[in-house]
Amino acid sequence: MLGPRPWSVALLVLSLTPLITLAGEPGADDAWFREHEKELVSLYTHLHLHPELSKQEAKTSERIAEELTKAGAEVTKGVGQYGVVGLIKNGEGPIVLIRSDLDALPVKEETGLSYASKATGVDATGQDVSVMHACGHDIHMTCLVGVAQWLATHKDRWSGTAVLVGQPAEEMISGAKAMLEDGLYTRFPKPNYALALHVTNDQAAGTLGYTSGPALAGSTALDVTIRGKGGHGASPHSTVDPIVLAALAILDFQTIISREINPIHPAVLTVGSIHGGSKHNIISDEVRLQLTLRYYRDNVREQLIEGIKRRVNALAQSHQAPEPEVKQVEGTPPTVNTPELVARLKPVLARTVGAANLKEVDPMMGAEDFGLFSQDGVPIFMFRLGSISQERVRKARAEGRRLPSLHSSLYYPEPGPTIQTGVKAMTAAVLELMPPRP
């Protein structure tokens, strides 16, 4: 059963699920992880207890900068606001970028764990919100630090330059763009390859997933304002009710996908927020909608936006309402893993976790701004990191129910085995791309 675990933070660090034994040792081995396990899980616990929202990652970025410095990296802070760049130089050779995200989500944690987040913050609209690492970025950061520690103490195993990146504002899909615009590929060595990992909510810890080619969808966020003419709720004939127009629009938006988009081209249109009105008997002047669009093709994105504009404008005209507004607030292109890089690293990952524990997974409609690191032709690869205890996965499958998704208030990973696998897999991938020193 999903629910509370009566662990204290100390017990979390000292009494983890027994470590899994992974096949082959192309990167960080089990003995190294056992030596560093307590330190890494303690870091994970700290990060989980102290999440920060996008564009507010001041303390998180400072802690990651400290950890990378302590590991032996040359660290630069404040890249793209709260971005962190750590360089570990080891002679001539390839330049490999390893990226982690830093930010958390406005979610109230309901896992019942003793180390559950109780943090709060103020979101971009000025609202007080609970904050939680509901998307595993605390795992990602811990793995980044573990990779830095291993690379710095095993320089006889590789050559080149490792570029360790802590990226802010991934959840707002704006942090990668901000870092690149602040000179990530000009002020620092431009990578020959860029790598990242991301936890999954439905794979067991100790397993990995990969997708060659299109892996994560493009995303565009829209603010739609539907305007009306306010008045008394008892006199609707003297008003133009924007709530009615918004309801009609929300239903009609879905016909863009069902009747206008080619059905073999994936597309999602979700209205995630609707705000309008202030009292039972008042017809308001406007309703504000927040939409997210997902797609893999630019022409599909344009069809979605054009269809939304056409529908809200037509509704306004037919109901004699003021002109509506459709405004794009953020967006990022799809993340497309470079097939040649995936093909090169797939055998290495299979040796690291065992062939049975490496699985090809379908593309997702979730979005990531990691795709922007492919700028200027840089090959990229983000692989998926199983994060759920094998017992929970088995039980959920036996009972025919889904595990809590990422971004859920109930999502939580199994820290020890997940971090172990992440560090081992990423160091193995780096070693494949950065040959030993002559």
Q: How far apart are CA 210 and CA 329, in angstroms?
A: 30
Q: What is the CATH number of the domain that holds 224?
A: 3.30.70.360
Query: Which residues span the domain enclosing 298?
Result: 218-332
pLDDT tens-digit map of 361-391: 999 999 999 999 999 999 999 999 999 999 9
Helix (H, G, I), strand (E, B) or coil at 300: helix
Rg of the chain in Å (alpha carbons): 24
SS (H, E, C) 216-265: EEEEEEEEEEEECECEECCCHHHCECHHHHHHHHHHHHHHHHHHCCCCCC
pLDDT tens-digit map of 283-342: 999 999 999 999 999 999 999 999 999 999 999 999 999 999 999 998 999 999 999 999
The predicted structure's pLDDT at residue 124: 87
* Claim to verify: residue 237 and residue 386 sit in the same structural domain: no
User: Is the Cβ–Cβ distance between 20 and 122 less than 8 Å?
Assistant: no
* Claim to verify: residue 203 and residue 223 sit in the same structural domain: no
Q: Which of 209, 205, 137, 144 is nearest to 387 (CA)?
A: 205
The average pLDDT across 48-69 equals: 98
* Claim to verify: residue 45 and residue 152 sit in the same structural domain: yes
pLDDT tens-digit map of 72-101: 999 999 999 999 999 999 999 999 999 999
- pTM (global) more than 0.95: no
Q: What is the CATH number of the domain that holds 420?
A: 3.40.630.10
Is residue 338 in some structural domain? no
The residues, ordered by sequence, that sit 6+ positions from 284 with a Cβ below 8 Å of its Cβ are: 228, 230, 242, 243, 276, 277, 278
* Claim to verify: residue 231 and residue 154 sit in the same structural domain: no
Pairing between β-strand 282-283 and β-strand 231-232 as defined by DSSP bridges: antiparallel
Q: Which of 57, 90, 34, 75 is nearest to 423 (CA)?
A: 34
Helix (H, G, I), strand (E, B) or coil at 339: helix
